[in-house]
Amino acid sequence: MKKYVMLAISAAILNVFVVNVSVANTSNLLVFQEETPEAEILLDKAIEAEAAGNQEALLSSLTAGTAALEKEANADKGSFKDKLLGQVGALQKFAPMVKSGLLKGDMLKKVINTVKMLLAAKRIENALGGSNLLGNVGGLTKNLGLMKAGLPALGGDSQSKLGGLLDTAMGSVGNLSKGGMTAKAAEPAVKKQLGGILDFVKGAI
């Protein structure tokens, strides 16, 4: 009888140990799976810090944003990779300027706006390489908006022309979410419009 009691107690202790280990491992898994903020979010924080005159926050956000941008660029094999890495180099040159107080807001904004346009273009290009666009309406809308946010980097007629192309494409992408024949009929036109936008960005930057 004592033997069975001891076996039961041992089994209970083992079960508690396994549960505790499983919970600990799950906790670690959740920590490691937590997504890093996108590069453009971190770089926007750099702009905010510069406007507030917070040099420490500016340097921290700039460093983190540049690292995130470099990581995303290197993970890609598309036609915008080299252009993105060029902007990584430009951002890296800003760090010493922050420390010396020489970095101006306009300089920072121009490069970050260029980054936004190139990141959006890269992601749209990847979406076009997929089997269809119908399941990626949210991503397309988000990145067309991101590209529009970066338009000031161009200025002049180029900014105006690309802005018009983006407005047209955003309207067309909205048809993809309607489903059925409407979405299928809209997809070829959307692909053509997005391709034209990517070609424009390649020529403008």
The whole-angstrom separation of Cα 45 and Cα 39 is 10
Instruction: Report which of 130, 123, 132 is spatially closest to residue 176, judged by C-alpha positions.
Output: 132
Q: Above pLDDT 70, what percent of the chain? A: 81
- Note the pLDDT tens digit of each residue in 19-76: 343 433 433 333 333 345 699 999 999 999 999 999 999 999 999 999 999 999 999 9
> Any idea what the Cα angle at residue 131 is, between residues 127 and 133, rounded to 5°?
50
pLDDT(17) > 70: no
- Note the pLDDT tens digit of each residue in 133-168: 888 899 999 999 999 999 999 999 999 999 999 999
Q: Are 168 and 193 in contact (CB under 8 A)?
A: yes
Would you state the structure tokens that stand for residue 108, as one six-digit string? 């920072």
| pTM score over 0.75 | yes
Per-residue pLDDT, averaged over 173-198, amounts to 89
- The DSSP line for 147-205 is HHHTGGGT-HHHHHHHHHHHHHHHHHHHHHTT-HHHHHHHHHHHHHHHHHHHHHHHHH-
The whole-angstrom separation of Cα 93 and Cα 98 is 9
Q: Are 80 and 127 in contact (CB under 8 A)?
A: no
Sign of CA dihedral 77, 80, 84, 87: positive
Exposed (0-12), middle (13-18) or buried (19+): which is 37, by Cβ within 10 Å?
middle
- Residue 130 confidence (pLDDT): 78
